[in-house]
Structure 1
Amino acid sequence: MSAQIRKKKSSLKAKKAPAYIHSLRGVKDWKQTSEWLAVRGIEDIECITPDQAGVARGKMMPAGKFTSDTSLALPSSVFMVTISGDYPEDGNGFYYPEDDGDLKLEPDLSTLSLVPWEDDPTAQVICDLVYQDGGKAGFTPRNVLRNVVAAYREMGLSPVVAPEIEFYLVCKNPDPDYPLTPPTGRSGRSVAGGQGYSIASINEFDELIDDIYHFSEAQGLEIDTLIHEEGAGQFEINLRHGDPIELADQVFLFKRTIREAALKHGVYATFMAKPMQGQPGSAMHIHQSVIDIKTGRNIFSDAKGGESAALHHFIGGLQTYMASALVMLAPYVNSYRRLIPDVSAPVNLRWGHDNRTTAFRVPRSDAAGRRVENRLPSSDANPYLALAGSLACGLLGLRNKIKPDAPATGTMNASDVELPRGLIEAVTLFEENADLRAVLGDSFVSTYAAIKRQEFETFMEVISPWEREYLLLNV
């Protein structure tokens, strides 16, 4: 550490440094930013933003340059690329910009935090994207979610969410032709499935879990609970409820954090929806409620503490529009391997009280905590888009006062499939729904649909082991 930085830290300590100096996450303005960075001796800044897949894109720069009013920009094409790095064809309302003009990165200083896994002192900040004239780039994921939240606020409402993120730890897999396998824990044995809520299974990876906690704490990210799920090496992290933008930011950062902690211990962390045949899929369940801004009251409960009409309208919107929004919550071909009959993931559009076989579950709670859990999203989803899609469906239900059907009782997993069975069907429903398009915006719908169509076409070029096994010598 340089003498100048040591002097700065001593000076601030002597003056009883203001609270923002000690903040683990976020400052208010550029003056606070400069002091926050100086005290920590930060050398580099990662200016990041989620692309359509939720992958962190951006630029790294020296801390001094970051605070010197430097203009940051990325090509607009970065937000039109598929997961495999391809670009979609023009058509169906999508047109690739001929000039591939820049989008400006606007740092959201409330997200400033450390990057604790880097050897050199490094910070990160999540950025919004705007056009050169300052207008928001409506097709970029963080802005899509912002627009949905703004639509609630126009009605005097504020949505509240709490995501649950499932993921697997797997052995390193440098050759994608080979299936994934569960990792070896501290016992020296490969972990087994069927160990839901097992503390011993968590203890198999104590040091890795400790690093997840330490990395999270250093970034100001709060984990509510962590459990071992049913799959072999499958875990779930639950986050505390809050503002949708803030929670999407947390999921975005948690995914980076968990991957980095896993790599430190010689394994992969994967958020694929269905990484291993014969094992359960990984979900990103979303708990949702809505607050009246004026009164602070949960509108899902009436004056007597019972279920309100607003709760039922919200559920009615989910039931009516979710099939069309599903591609935002199940974005890849692999996502639909999770959504199959007779397993834990629902394939229906039913709702019920504390019924985990329905798509939309109303957990047991008091009146203030009444909420709807959307059990359809998979953990491979971009958190900004999964939240935007689910909240958009509920918003349309509230606007149009859509009534749901009767709550389901009993097991619904074996019922008729009410969802798209594959990616291309989901894309078509998404493109054709005018009500969702009006909430989410034409530019986003056309761009996202074009990307997903191209991803499907790329997948169709791959010949699977199943085809070689059953078709090679039999047809």
Structure 2
Amino acid sequence: MNTRPSPSSSTVAEAEAFLAAHPEIEAFDIVLHDSNGIGRGKIIRRAELLSFYNNGRHLPISILGLDICGEDVHETGLIWDQGDGDLRAWPIPGTLVPLHNTIPPRGEVLMSLYDLEGRPMPSDPRHALQRQVDALAAEGLTPAGAFELEFFLLAKERGPDGKVQPARDVLDGRASTRTEVYSVDHLHGMLPLFSDIYAGAAKAGITAETLISEYAPGQYELTLHYRTDVMQAADDLMRLKRIVRAQARAHGVTACFMAKPNEDYAGSGMHFHVSMMDDNGKNVFVEEQEGAWNAAILHALGGLRATMGESMLVFAPHANSWRRFAAQSYAPVSPTWGVNNRSVALRIPAGDIRARRIEHRPAGVDANPYLVAATVLAGIRHGLQHKIDPGPETVGNGYEDGQDAPAIPLDWRQAIEAAKGSAFLKEALGEDMHRTFTAVKSAEYARVMRTVSEVDFDLYLHTV
């Protein structure tokens, strides 16, 4: 019997049915995602699962006030200002799944944080996205979408120059340092690993689809099935990253989700495809005559362009994120839009008119998909409400266009300052999430800037 109602709408019946169907599972990862998208939580034993579903689980409020290294960021207001008291985490319905290839067998469930009275904890990124989904629902719109996952598979050891190097094929140990873009034969060497990734995704209820060898040595892309529920699309991305990381480790290689692990090659993006459905299930971005764009998609593009600069910290949240933005690198460098054009930031893909959508391309794979989706949806809402004109379409090389586009920050520091002062981003994320996120980023910037790196010694040790 439930001792208290679950504010997440989870039910103990779901847990009871899962335990009955999976008598082999001995433990569960219970996972909450912080502002950096890092999975934090606990591993509980099988006998504890029903209690979790009955009563939730106490977690310290500070779990959402941590930086990338797991250190407290006092400026979030989530540490001693709150006495580091406990809040209560509750399981997310439908996220209780078995994990693949674990010994002993384990399961996983996502959770979200609430106060002790059951109100959503606003610095939880999942709640930030839900705010925007609810706001759109009040306006008669439902967002649908999917993320693309780009990543590197790297050897466990660095090369002689100290840099990361592509992993050898797990099938036969063959090495390649070439850009094997779209090579099907190259994919075969990693098929044992990818078979385990697909198996793990299937167990988690995730439809992982097309596999591509991408535009750098050791780089790959997995696409995900388009969801009519954007929250589920973000969940898919977060879970797939954990699956890829775990299965890569089991095969003796490292899955890397840095935006730019190698300065000589393209970085890894996390493109977000998004469309909008009305109350009748009609895609409001679909034009009556192909190519004659309707007001809804143009205003959505206008809102995304107008808000991109102040939102870039969400899309490029780390020091390394900013190394990805370079001309001719398939990463956008200005808030341009275009059709069937991979040099722009906002792309309308070619294809069936009924599937009309916007591909939002600025975010790196190191970004938090809940915050990315929340910010993109808020940008679309902003454009629709204010009927913002997106300006002329970029045709041809987007790296040579964009002179008249709204300005975006040039580096991480500028992005932090822009985000801090942004009324739009405060509304998009919610005041508490905005304060938490920008405080964490400011603390991480300070950490990086006070670190004496190998670059310092290489440039200055014998020269100044």
- The reply to whether TM is greater than 0.5 is yes
Residues 348 and 359 of structure 1 are in contact (CA less than 8 Å); yes or no, is this contact kept in structure 2? Answer: yes
User: How far apart are the structure 2 equivalents of 1:141 and 1:183?
Assistant: 33
Which amino acid is 1:46 matched to? D
Q: Which residue of 1 aligns with 2:446?
A: 457
Q: Which residue of 1 aligns with 2:334?
A: 348
Q: Which residue of 2 aligns with 1:429?
A: 418
Q: Pick from 71, 87, 98 the counterpart of residue 114 of structure 1.
A: 98
Q: Which residue of 1 aligns with 2:250?
A: 264
| 1:123 paired to 2:99 | no
User: How far apart are the structure 2 equivalents of 1:128 and 1:175?
Assistant: 41
Over residues 244-293 of structure 1, what are the superposed CA-to-partner deviations in whole Å (9 max), with x where a residue is unaligned? 1101111111011001111111110011000112121000011111110x
Q: For 2:398, what is the secondary structure of its paired residue?
A: coil
The runs of 5 or more residues in structure 1 that have no matched partner are 1-26
Q: Which residue of 2 aligns with 1:37?
A: 19
Deviation of 1:468 after TM superposition, in Å, equals: 1.9
Residues 167 and 234 of structure 1 are in contact (CA less than 8 Å); yes or no, is this contact kept in structure 2? Answer: yes
Deviation of 1:164 after TM superposition, in Å, equals: 0.6
Over residues 322-362 of structure 1, what are the superposed CA-to-partner deviations in whole Å (9 max), with x where a residue is unaligned? 11111111110000000123322110101011111010011
TM-score (normalizing by structure 2): 0.91
| 1:52 paired to 2:35 | yes
User: How far apart are the structure 1 equivalents of 2:458 and 2:26?
Assistant: 54
Q: CA RMSD in A?
A: 2.1
Q: Which residue of 1 aligns with 2:6?
A: none
Q: For 1:426, what is the secondary structure of its paired residue?
A: helix
Q: Which residue of 2 aligns with 1:65?
A: 48
Q: Pick from 317, 331, 349 the counterpart of residue 363 of structure 1.
A: 349
Q: Which residue of 1 aligns with 2:308?
A: 322
Cα 1:88–1:351 change in 2 (3 A) is: same
Q: Pick from 411, 432, 439 the counterpart of residue 397 of structure 2.
A: 411
Cα 1:423–1:134 change in 2 (3 A) is: same
Cα 1:458–1:173 change in 2 (3 A) is: farther
Cα 1:67–1:176 change in 2 (3 A) is: farther
Q: Which residue of 1 aligns with 2:461?
A: 472
| 1:83 paired to 2:68 | yes
Deviation of 1:176 after TM superposition, in Å, equals: 13
| 1:227 paired to 2:227 | no
Q: For 1:110, what is the secondary structure of its paired residue?
A: coil
Q: Which residue of 2 aligns with 1:282?
A: 268
Over residues 8-55 of structure 1, what are the superposed CA-to-partner deviations in whole Å (9 max), with x where a residue is unaligned? xxxxxxxxxxxxxxxxxxx97322421221221132222211111111
Q: For 1:319, what is the secondary structure of its paired residue?
A: helix
User: How far apart are the structure 2 equivalents of 1:344 and 1:90?
Assistant: 36
Q: Which residue of 2 aligns with 1:441?
A: 430
Q: Which residue of 2 aligns with 1:19?
A: none
Q: Which residue of 2 aligns with 1:331?
A: 317
User: How far apart are the structure 2 equivalents of 1:73 and 1:201?
Assistant: 47
Does 66-75 or 246-255 show the bigger shift? 66-75
Which amino acid is 2:300 matched to? F
Which amino acid is 1:275 matched to? P
Deviation of 1:175 after TM superposition, in Å, equals: 11
Does 196-205 or 67-76 show the bigger shift? 67-76
Q: Which residue of 2 aligns with 1:142?
A: 126
User: How far apart are the structure 1 equivalents of 2:294 and 2:402?
Assistant: 29
TM-score (normalizing by structure 1): 0.89
Q: Identity, % of aligned pairs?
A: 32
Residues 329 and 389 of structure 1 are in contact (CA less than 8 Å); yes or no, is this contact kept in structure 2? Answer: no
Residues 374 and 428 of structure 2 are in contact (CA less than 8 Å); yes or no, is this contact kept in structure 1? Answer: no
Cα 1:300–1:420 change in 2 (3 A) is: same
Over residues 287-340 of structure 1, what are the superposed CA-to-partner deviations in whole Å (9 max), with x where a residue is unaligned? 111110x22111112445542101001000110001111111111000000012
Which amino acid is 1:355 matched to? N
Q: Which residue of 2 aligns with 1:398?
A: 384
Deviation of 1:109 after TM superposition, in Å, equals: 2.5
Deviation of 1:177 after TM superposition, in Å, equals: 9.8
User: How far apart are the structure 1 equivalents of 2:111 and 2:426?
Assistant: 25
Deviation of 1:206 after TM superposition, in Å, equals: 1.6
User: How far apart are the structure 2 equivalents of 1:287 and 1:57?
Assistant: 27
Which amino acid is 1:142 matched to? R
Does 394-403 or 354-363 show the bigger shift? 394-403
Deviation of 1:71 after TM superposition, in Å, equals: 3.5
User: How far apart are the structure 2 equivalents of 1:177 and 1:139?
Assistant: 41
Q: Pick from 176, 186, 198 the counterpart of residue 183 of structure 2.
A: 198
Q: Which residue of 2 aligns with 1:160?
A: 144
| 1:250 paired to 2:250 | no
List aligned pairs for 1:293-304, cutoff 5 A. Answer: 294-304=279-289
Cα 1:371–1:176 change in 2 (3 A) is: farther
User: How far apart are the structure 1 equivalents of 2:455 and 2:446?
Assistant: 19
Cα 1:252–1:58 change in 2 (3 A) is: same
Over residues 195-244 of structure 1, what are the superposed CA-to-partner deviations in whole Å (9 max), with x where a residue is unaligned? 11111111121211111111112222111211110111100010011111
User: How far apart are the structure 1 equivalents of 2:10 and 2:429?
Assistant: 29
Q: Which residue of 1 aligns with 2:4?
A: none
Deviation of 1:89 after TM superposition, in Å, equals: 4.4
User: How far apart are the structure 2 equivalents of 1:197 and 1:106?
Assistant: 42
User: How far apart are the structure 2 equivalents of 1:201 and 1:96?
Assistant: 52
Cα 1:368–1:314 change in 2 (3 A) is: same
Which amino acid is 2:37 matched to? G
Deviation of 1:96 after TM superposition, in Å, equals: 5.3
The aligned length equals 447
Which amino acid is 1:376 matched to? P
Q: For 1:85, what is the secondary structure of its paired residue?
A: coil
Which amino acid is 1:225 matched to? T
Deviation of 1:88 after TM superposition, in Å, equals: 2.6
